[in-house]
Every structure is written in C-alpha cells, then in structure tokens.
Structure 1
Amino acid sequence: MSSTTSEKPPASATQNPKKWRFTWEAQSHSSTLRLLLYNSTATCSSSQFTDLKVNLLAQQSLLIVSFFETEARIEVSLRVPIPRVLIDAESPVHFKAFDDHIEVKVVLLLPPDHPLVSEFDSMLDSLNNGVGLDERSPLSMDSDIKKLSAMQVVHFYCRNCTTKLTKDLRKFEEMPSVNWREVSDNWFGACCCSFGGVSEKLVTRYAKSYMCAPGVVLLSATSVLLCKDDLLGCEFPDVKVRQDYGSELNSTSDSCLSISALEDEGRGQTVFFENHEKGTNGIHGIVDSLCAGENNLASNLKSERLKPGGADDCLSCTFHALHTETNKAPVIKMCTDSEIHVGNCDTQCCSLDRSETFSKEQTVGTKVELLEIQKIFLNGHLGSGFMERSSSLSQDIQWIEFSCPQCSCLIGAYPCFEDNVPLDGGIRLFKCNISTCLPVGGSNDKFRNYTLERMFTSQLLESAKDELSFRTIVRNLQFKSAVLQIVLLNPNSWCCTGYCLLPLESAGKIVLHPTVKVLFTASSHGDEFDTGMLEEWIRKNQADEVYMFPSQIKELITNLDLANSLSPPSYKLLQGLFLSSLRR
C-alpha cells in the first residue's frame, strides 16, 4: 500500500464506478475526516483489495482510490469527490482495507464546526442565495418570527399540492410555553406573602395569550397555531357546552370556584381564569393586585376594584373586604365556608371575606365552557401536536389529524373532546408540511429548511439537553403502543454520501451536513416489542416517551432505514440495534 499526492491519477481500467458508494464522516471538535468506500451491489473481502493506493488531488477536490482486483484481474480506480473542508495537505493520508469496505482518514486544519469554517461557508453560500447555509443552520423559531413579520402579508400553502390554505396573515407571535406555571413558580414561589401573586399573574397572562384570535399566528418550534376561521375551505362544528360540567360543580362539595372576567386588550376577547384546588391559586392574583395598588389592579384585572389599605396592611398581606364595582365584571365565588384561607401560605396571614354568591344557573353556559378550556391551558395539557409527551396528554383530550382539503395529506393537528371541535379554536399546522409562498421550497419560502426528520431531531436533542434523556420510545398517538426505540449516540456528527464519479465526470460541490448518530429498532422490522421487557428497559434507563401520528412515525422509520442502508454491512448493527443517523 502507498499514498501519493500527485496531480495526475494513475492510468487504470475503471470498472462500474457507480456501484461504489462513498460516505464522508467527521466529528465536531475533531480534525479527522474519514471516508468509507464500499461496493453497494456486491460483497467484497479485504483479499480482493491488493496494491491499494490513494492519491489526494486537493486542487481538484478529488480523492483517487485504486487497487488491483484479484478475481477480475484488473486495476480499479475510483474517483471520490471531497467535501468543502480545509484539508492539511502536508499530513499523510491513512487508509486500510477491511472485509467489506475501504477506510481513508484525512487530517483537517480545522474541525467542520469551527467558527472560521462556518464564516467561510457563509461567504460561499451567499453566492447561492444562502440556500446551502439554511440547510446546515439550526432551526430557529425566533428567526421564523422575524422573517414572517418582515413580510407584509403571509399565506400558508400545502407542500404536497400547493393549495392555498389560509387567509391574509399579518401578526406573528411566539406560542407560550406549556411549562409557564412551573417556571413562574420556580422563580417567584407559590406563596402569596412574597411573590406568589406575580407567579399567578404570569400564569393568567399565559392563559390569555394562548387563546386563538383571527389574523394572529402563534409559532412554536415545530408548528404554527392559527384560528380556524383563518383557514380556507374548512368547516368545523360549533362549540358546544359540555353536559357533564354541571355535575362536576355539584360533586365538588369542598371546592371554591373563583371566576374573574379578564378582558384581553390586544384581541378584544374575554377569557376566564379558574382554579378550585383548595381555593388557593385563584386568590393569589387578587392578593397580589391588592398589594400592588389600585392602579396596577385596574390595568391587570379590569374587572375588580379593591379598596387599598395602608402600607402596613400591604406589608402584612391582610385584607378585610373585597369591593366590587357595579359597572365592572363581577367576581363569582361559590364556597362552602364563610371565609377563604390561602392554603399555600404557611403563616395563614392572608384572608378574604366571602363575596356575593351567585346561583349555579349563572355559571353554567358559554362562560363555563370557556372556563373549562382555560383550566386545560393552565394545566399545560396542550402542545404543538407534532410530538407530544406524557406530561402534555390527557384522557379527556384526543388529537385529530388535520388534512389538506385538496389532497388529503397530513398537514397538522388539533386537540378536541369527543365532539371533534377544536378545543382552543385553533389548528396547528406543521412547518414541515406547509410553505409560506410559491414555488414550494423556493428561495423565499421561509419554511423550506423544515423537514420531519430535522424537526424530530431538534426535539430529540432538546430533550437530551433538558431532561438528560438519551433513550426515547416513540409511541402511536392514537393507540399509545410503542413503535420505535431510539438511543442517541453522538449529537455532533457531520456526514455526506454519494456514488463515485465516472472517468470524465467533474467533481460536484458537496458539503458536510450536521447529523446525529443513533441506534434504533422498530416494530415494523419484525416481531412486536415485548411489553414487559420494554417497560423494564424504560424504567431502568429512564427513557423518554413521546407520541406521534402513525404516518409521521412511518416516514421517520423510512428515513432511519435509508440512512442505515448507506453504510457498509459491518456498520449496520451495533449491540442488536440498527446503526443510523438523522439530519439536524
């Protein structure tokens, strides 16, 4: 074996170069670029690769691999294009023949994720309208909001059939986090004696901002939430009051219901805040507003007016009466006790006298239905619909696939009860299934770099970062059965693949794409998962569990199988699982 860096490849009889596939791999923070070269149509052995030679043609971005094939008694020369990297031409090239592939290692001046390399790539991609840069840049919701807000009018189109899906859209905002209550409690605490009221106020504002309004689009990392009235060619049943909610009020004898009419200034809607767990959470906002003073109260609640006490009263959080102004929206309370005590306050220093009690008939109706919806928001049951977690699922709520009215392909989802009515009046469209303009995937399409594979990988890495979970079970969202098992190996890989070039074929420009190395297995590969063994594996490894629609899981498995097929046979299995990669 030998290695040279001559500028001319050796004369040879090239045999079927398109049967040979190459795969370039690199790691972040590593200065080694590895090539895997193998015959995709036949089984080879290391004994066939005699007199192996490698020539690096840096100026032509080519690597010439030649060897003498003993069975055919000919010399084979393979032309492999080199990706856009900074190679150290003075360092030796290492190569070795294995049973089913040839491995070549090249030394890099800088790793593929180095800032200088990224800046160099950006300069070259700017000559190509920045398309290549978008394909390698991480998915960013903040960037999407800025891009969409910069457009005067936005319409969403189906990627499959290019059907126009929406009316004119002009306002874009970030979708509130479903963990708002947990985050606010961690920052401010739950006791009303200090900052508990601030926490409650944040949660209330979260509930208000979650409501869908015509012309307003809420963006998450994987979907866009818009009002059902903004969709074209779609009809939904009218919202109906749940018949069982009146019995829920009667069955709760020790509960305290507090309803405050909250007027949304920006959208002109009235929403309702409710909590009846020991009568604690609903009072926090009132207590905090009273401490803050009448001005802050008027700007936040706008439906109650509390007579402010002295400074000492505010400091001690002691209040004697709740005054309701007749021309404001009333505060409705139904309690079994004559006084309400804040249970979360250890010192029990906060108390409110009983306010005016209204009949049950005044609480059951459209307002109570909105109240039920608000409770679901505050408990964080709703998500993007793309990939749900166990914490965001509820037995009372089901997710319905939303299909394109023209071609019937999956483009989104929405939560509902048994009546199939959108629970929050909105539909979530998945970014990987829609386009912001025509032609689909063009340079002006703001969602052109979104794919199901990249969106799933982004959520997978986010879970690994936040939950320290590197093992995931993907379940069917409809039947809750396990379909896919994934183990995260390396989140910082770079890869590109293709076939070797013909003798007169010019070397095209290829680039390394960021990928994630994973191990996986799917129930579609053979026998179904053993439930007992799977549950034990989940418990032992503290695996994360996510839920997706069947068609999405099927597409994801197809992508994993395809990436697995692009490797030599010796690289397909590891520890009984399939070795693959996902684009990030």
Structure 2
Amino acid sequence: MASELRTSENPRKWRYTWEALSHVPTLRLLLFNSSTNPKNQCENLKIDLNLQESVVRVSWFEDTQVSLRVPIPRVLVDVESPLSFRVLDDHIEVKLVLLLPVDHPIVSNFDSVFKLSDDECCTENSSQPLLMDSDIKGLSSRGGVHFYCRSCSTQLTRSPLSHFVEMPSTNWREVADNWFGACCCSFGGASEKLVNRYTNSYSCAEGTCLLNATSVILCKDDLLGWKFSDWDGSRANEFETYFVGDGDTIETTLESGSNHGRKVCCENKSEVMHEFDGKHSIMHPKKENLAANPQCEFNGKEIDGDCISCTFSVLDFSENLASAPACCVDTSCVVLNDDNVDCSHDMSDTCLKDQEHTKTIALPENQKSFLNGFLGNVFMVRSSNLSKDIDWIEFMCPQCSSFLGSYPHGNGHAPLDGGVRLFKCYISTSLPVGESGDMFRKYTLERMFTNQLLESAKDELSFRTVVRDLRTKSPVLQIVLLNPNSWCCSGCCWGTEGSIEPVSKIDLHPVIKVLFADCSNITKSQSRIIEEWVTKNLADEVYMLTHQINELIESLVSAKDILPPSHAFLQGLPLSSMQR
C-alpha cells in the first residue's frame, strides 16, 4: 500500500502543531496547509497511529492519494483509547489520549527513567528552568570565566572573572522597611542601615561579576576593546549633602587624589576641619573660629550644640557605627546631632541617645538611583523602579555591533555606577557558542521575557501588560496572558515516497498563550485608547529597550504562524505563544 501512495507536490507545505495543557492527559494535533481546505478537498481521510515509528500517518484522496507522516513527541500514549479526529475548513484536528499528563515527572525525565543510551537520547531538553542558583554555582566552580558575544564569538572581557555575586531582589528596600520599619527611629534605623549597606556592597568593582535573573553586570574596566568617552574618571568637586537635625546641613567636598576634606557646620556658620591621617579622623574647628566662639574648644570635652569635635578610628568605623542603636550609617560619614553626646571617647562606646532629629545620609550621586532597589534589572523595568535621572544607553559588541545590553548614563557619568549590563541571551560563557560548556545556552530573549512576565503577573495579580519604550515612555506592545501552562511543538510534515527517512525525535516545550498587539506605529487617537485600556483594566506597566521590544514583536508574529488561521485571532487580537 505504501508504494501506491504518493505525496503531494511539496508535502512540507503541510505543517503540524502539537498542543497539550498541564495536568490534562490529552494531546491535540493540528494539521493545516494555507492552500488547502480539508473539509472540501480531503476525501476519505484516514488516520493511523504507528507507535513503532512514533508517527501518525494521515492519508486522503485529493485528485491522487496523499499521505503524510507526523512525528509524535515523547509522551505516554494510551494505546487502548482510540484516537479521534475532525475535519474543518482550514485544518484537521486529531486527539490522542495519554496515560500521564505531559508535565508529569516521569514524562519530563524519560532519559533517566528508562535509562536510554546516548544514541537514543534527544538533544538537551531546553525546557529546563532558568535557575540563578545553578548559574552562580556553575560559574564559580570554573575558576575563571570569559564572556563572549553570541553572534560573532568575540571575547568581551579582559581577563577571566572568578568572583560572582548574586544581586538582591529589586524590592529589597521595601522588604527592609516592612521588616524593621521605615522610620530611622525604628530599631536604631536598621532598615536604613541595610539600605545603605546594600547600595555600597553591590557597587561595580573590577574583577567582580554581579548576576540577576536576566543579566550579568560587569565593571567597565573588565571589558575589552571598549571606551566610555562620557566617563571622566574623576571624583573631583563632588558634593555630598548630609542632613543633621532640623535645618543643620554639613557639606563635604571630596578632592580627587587627596585625603583631606572640609566640613561646614551651617547652624552657626562656624567652620570645622575634617582631617585624615590614615588611621584616625579628627574633626575640629578652625583656629580662627575658636576666638569667635569661646564655648567651642578643641579638647574633646567641652562641646556645645553648635560645634562638635570627635576622634574615631577609620578602620573600625563601619562596624562601630553599625552597633550604634540610633545612628543612620554610611561608610563615608558620621552624623552627630545630639547636644549631650560625648564624642571624646572611642566610637565603639558611642550611643546616640536622641533619635528625634536623625535624618538619612545622602549617598554619592552615582548611587542615589539605587536607593529604591533599582540595581540594574534594565531588561524589564517596573514603574516603581523607574528613575527620571537615568538614561539607558544600548551597549553593542565592539566587533560586530550586535546588541548585548545596556548601561546607565546620568550626572555626566557613563556608566553612572561604572557597570555595564550584559543580557544572558546575547552572551556566552565559553566557546564554541551554544555548546554544553556554555552556561547561558538555554537563555533566549523569549524565555527571559516570559519568566519576567509570569513573575510580574503573579506579583501584580494582573494578566494584562503594556510594554513601554524605556526612552520615550510610549506604549509599544500590549499583551494579555491567556494560559501560562501550555505545551507545544510544531514543524513540517514528512512524505512517504521513496526511501522513508527516520523521523527525528521531538519534545514538547512549555509555553504561555497570549494575545498581543503591536503598537509601535499607532496614531495619537489609538494611543489614547491604549492609555484608557491600561487605566480601565489596571494593566501592569513595564519598560524595555527598543531593540528588545522589536525582537519580541517579531517573535510573537512568527509564533502566530504555527496555528491555522481560525486559531490565529481571539477577540480581535492575534493569538500567539512564547516559550517559557
């Protein structure tokens, strides 16, 4: 019979798509061809299940007899249950009954459960979750890691990196405030201390790689073949303002290459010198002001509320201040605002008694933007972490100009914090790119976006999202999440004439089903409609770079084609899927 069967002129015009839902033991097959109406053209349709070849055979008469083979994904089919099918205007639908749902652990681990040999195993399962723990452990265990451009394999780092640190979650300040209280009087300003420590601890340092779910953050000095012309490399004339009590302000001028500073006590306009001798910091009034203010004597004992003198050990500075129950801590300054505080003794014995006027300590300009927890997850920025003072510049490969990530620009500095964010989906940790040694081979823009989208939907309890351009703040992409627990795979059907080639093994991949709308070229009136939709539906708002959004739109449009036309739209919006 097989010798009598003919294929159509090009059997690959026929496409197949397998679909399943988590926890549901049913597998659905959609067969379609854009130039064929199966209901009118496929006469005497016959469908057989051939488990020995792991295929579904489909045959019908269309002038001549046509036969196709469709590979079956690795699932446990219930052979005692008959398959069912129906013929529609633009596709053929076939349903198989399964012994176990597709997401059952036995099905997910076929290789280990059935102890298949290397030849029998499929390629590496790309549906494995993207886990930060495995990234940290894998990178740290290698001793030294270079990063490479995934497009052209160009080495991006000057020397191997061996120190990898996981970034805290983006809501770490909110967590600290909820745990300890937002007021600096609560538990000695514990929340504020943690905030400042996090901000200082997670600065970009040469030789250290910071990681989050989507990016690696490298110090600019670790990058090879790239110059940041906007970075002046100097900390000269940088002013920091510290608040002391109500209206008392101390300003510090830091001079590049100098170990001297100058502080001004603004309450009574008396000047105070702040000197460093390498081991101690001595703050005392200038000699010419002692005569004008006889009550302010530099003996460490006679101190009034307008002028304070203090000696402390720089080496023990942060630890001693951290133990002070009422002191807001920053590693660059100490705030003293109590008239009765005796600062003549060592800071380890210091206890600030009056908490009433304690205010926050300002951080350097290049760290202020991180106070709200925005430590650089620019892959998808939430509204709460958006900063008006930062512009994000796209970072390109110095060799092939491929998009790799971004870095912050602000206050005349680029990168603002000295760090460049490289997205994991565009870089590799070894050569050749994409092989087993590449720790980021499983990362794609689509999977990273999907994981962020699901996390956002879970946190915000919203299944509607508008993606805005990070630069213009305009809406560019609308997404409505329909089903986060689908499984899918698709491809071209095989013919049966000549020598029958063995059918490649295929796997179902976890996907989400979404409705989407490309808003990149909308009019002003359409933009107002979208803004009304956002307000009415309490849609979640996220911000992404232009390059990323364009790539996501292309992916959504492409994935839409794996479904027949009757399944391509719902409620007037295109229906598509994205791998998770």
Confirm or deny that 1:398 pairs with 2:388: no
In structure 2, the partner of 1:463 is 456
Residues of 2 paired with 1:448 and 1:94: CA distance?
39
Deviation at 1:354, TM superposition (A): 9.1
1:177 offset after TM fit, Å?
2.1
In the other structure, the counterpart of 1:22 is 16
TM superposition shift of 1:149: 0.7
Partner residue of 2:477? 484
Aligned to 1:376: 369
Query: 1:139 corresponds to which residue?
Result: 130
**Structure 2 CA distance for partners of 1:65 and 1:353, relative to 1, 3 Å:** closer
- Contact in 1 for aligned 2:403/2:426 (Cα 8 Å): yes
Equivalent residue, structure 2, for 1:222: 214
CA contact (8 A) 2:569 2:575 kept: yes
AA of the residue aligned to 1:438:
L
Give the match's secondary structure for 2:494.
Answer: coil
Report the Cα offset of residue 353 of structure 1.
9.5
Q: Indicate the structure (1 or 2) with the bigger Cα radius of gyration.
A: 2
Structure 2: segments with no counterpart, 5+ residues: 255-313, 342-351
What's 1:545 paired with?
541
Alignment correspondent of 1:112: 102
The answer as to 2:23 corresponding to 1:32 is: no
Instruction: Return closer, same or farther for 1:242/1:518 CA change in 2, 3 Å cut-off.
Output: farther
- Cα distance in structure 1, aligned partners of 2:236 and 2:332: 24
Question: Does structure 1 residue 103 correspond to structure 2 residue 97?
Answer: no
The alpha carbon displacement at 1:14 in A equals 2.1
| Aligned equivalents of 1:490, 1:257: Cα separation in 2 | 56
2:579 alignment partner AA: R
- 2:130 partner amino acid: L
2:508 is equivalent to residue 508 of structure 1: no
- Name the SS of the counterpart of 1:408 in structure 2: coil
Q: How far off its partner does 1:472 sit?
A: 1.0
Residue number in structure 1 paired with 2:441: 448
Comparing 526-535 with 50-59, greater Cα deviation is found at 526-535
Q: Which among 379, 385, 406 is matched to residue 413 of structure 1?
A: 406
Alignment of 1:158-169 (within 5 A): 158-166=149-157, 167-169=159-161
The alpha-carbon deviation at position 305 of structure 1 amounts to 9.4
TM-score by length of 1: 0.78
2:44 matches 1:51: yes
Q: 1:298 to 1:469 in 2, by over 3 A?
A: farther
**Letter of the 1:490 counterpart:** N
Aligned to 2:6: 13
Asked if the contact 1:563/1:580 (under 8 Å) is kept, the reply is: yes
Classify 1:465/1:131 alpha carbon distance in 2 versus 1 (closer, same or farther; 3 Å).
farther
Q: Does 1:555 align with 2:551?
A: yes
Which of 159, 162, 167 is residue 170 of structure 1 equivalent to? Answer: 162
Output one character per residue of 1:422-470: Cα deviation in whole Å (capped at 9) or x when no partner.
Answer: 1111111110111001001011000001111111111001101111121
Structure with bigger helix share is: 1
Q: Is the 8 A contact 2:122 2:505 kept in 1?
A: no
Is 2:298 the counterpart of 1:302? no
Write the mapping of 1:1-400 to structure 2, written as runs, cut at 5 A: 11-15=4-8, 16-40=10-34, 42-69=35-62, 73-122=63-112, 127=118, 132-166=123-157, 167-191=159-183, 195=187, 197-236=189-228, 237-239=231-233, 254=247, 301-302=318-319, 304=321, 331-332=334-335, 351-352=354-355, 371-400=364-393
Pick aligned residue for 1:496 from 484, 489, 500: 489
Task: Give the gaps of 5 or more residues in structure 1.
Answer: 1-7, 262-296, 309-316, 341-348, 356-366
In structure 2, distance between residues paired with 1:436 and 1:128: 27
Change in Cα spacing, 1:100 to 1:330, as seen in structure 2 (3 Å) is: closer
**Which amino acid in the other structure matches residue 27 of structure 1?**
L
The 1:332–1:142 alpha-carbon spacing in structure 2 relative to 1, beyond 3 Å, is same
Could you tell me which of 521, 526, 532 is aligned with 2:517?
521
- Output the CA distance in 2 between the equivalents of 1:147 and 1:128: 26
Residue in structure 2 matched with residue 265 of structure 1 by the alignment:
none
Alignment check: 8 A CA contact 1:304 1:329 kept? no
- Aligned in 2, Cα 1:462/1:196: closer, same or farther, shift over 3 Å? farther
CA contact (8 A) 1:411 1:433 kept: yes
Taking a change above 3 Å as real, the CA distance of residues 44 and 168 of structure 1, as seen in their structure-2 partners, is same
Q: Distance in 2 between matches of 1:238 and 1:52?
A: 73
Contact kept in structure 2, 1:175 and 1:218, CA below 8 Å: yes
DSSP 3-state at the match of 1:60: coil
- 1:410 and 1:404 map into 2 onto residues whose CA distance is 6
Amino acid at match of 1:175: M
Cα root mean square deviation, aligned = 3.4
- Give the counterpart letter for 1:399 in structure 2: W
C-alpha distance 240-130 of structure 1, shift in aligned 2 (>3 A)? farther
Cα distance in 1 for partners of 2:119, 2:413 equals: 46
Change (3 A) 1:527 1:352: closer
Q: Distance in 2 between matches of 1:131 and 1:214?
A: 41
Q: Is the 8 A contact 1:14 1:77 kept in 2?
A: yes
Distance in 2 (alpha carbons) for counterparts of 1:125 and 1:205: 51
Distance 1:424 1:25, change over 3 A: same
Residue 403 of structure 1 and its aligned partner are, at CA, apart by: 1.0
Q: Which residue of 1 aligns with 2:293?
A: none
Aligned residues: 497
Contact preservation (8 Å) 1:212, 1:226: yes
- Check whether the contact 1:258–1:332 (CA below 8 A) recurs between aligned residues: no
Secondary structure at the aligned position of 2:196 is classed as helix
- One-letter code of the match for 2:550? K
Moved more, 217-226 or 515-524: 515-524
Q: Is the 8 A contact 1:477 1:549 kept in 2?
A: yes
More displaced stretch, 568-577 vs 171-180: 171-180
2:464·2:540 contact (CA, 8 Å) conserved in 1? yes
Counterpart of 2:75, as a letter, is V
- In structure 2, what is the Cα distance between the partners aligned to 1:216 and 1:502? 55
Q: 1:197, CA displacement in angstroms?
A: 3.7
Aligned-residue offset at 1:209: 2.0
CA distance in 2, matches of 1:562, 1:539: 29
- For the 8 Å contact 1:184–1:202, the answer to whether it is kept is yes
Distance 2:11 2:56 in 1: 13
**Cα deviation digits, residues 307-326 of structure 1 (max 9, x gap):** x8xxxxxxxx7x8xx9x9xx
Q: Secondary structure at the match of 2:134?
A: helix
Alpha-carbon deviation of 1:352? 4.9
Aligned to 2:299: none
Question: Aligned partners of 1:181, 1:484: CA distance in 2, in Å?
Answer: 30
- Runs of 4+ in structure 1 off by over 6 angstroms are 128-131, 297-300, 337-340
CA contact (8 A) 1:136 1:514 kept: yes
Q: Within the alignment, does 1:433 sit opposite 2:450 as a pair? A: no
Per-residue CA distance 1:380-409 (angstroms, 9 max, x = gap): 244222111211111111111111111111
> Following the alignment from structure 1 to structure 2, what is the Cα–Cα distance between the partners of residues 162 and 443?
15
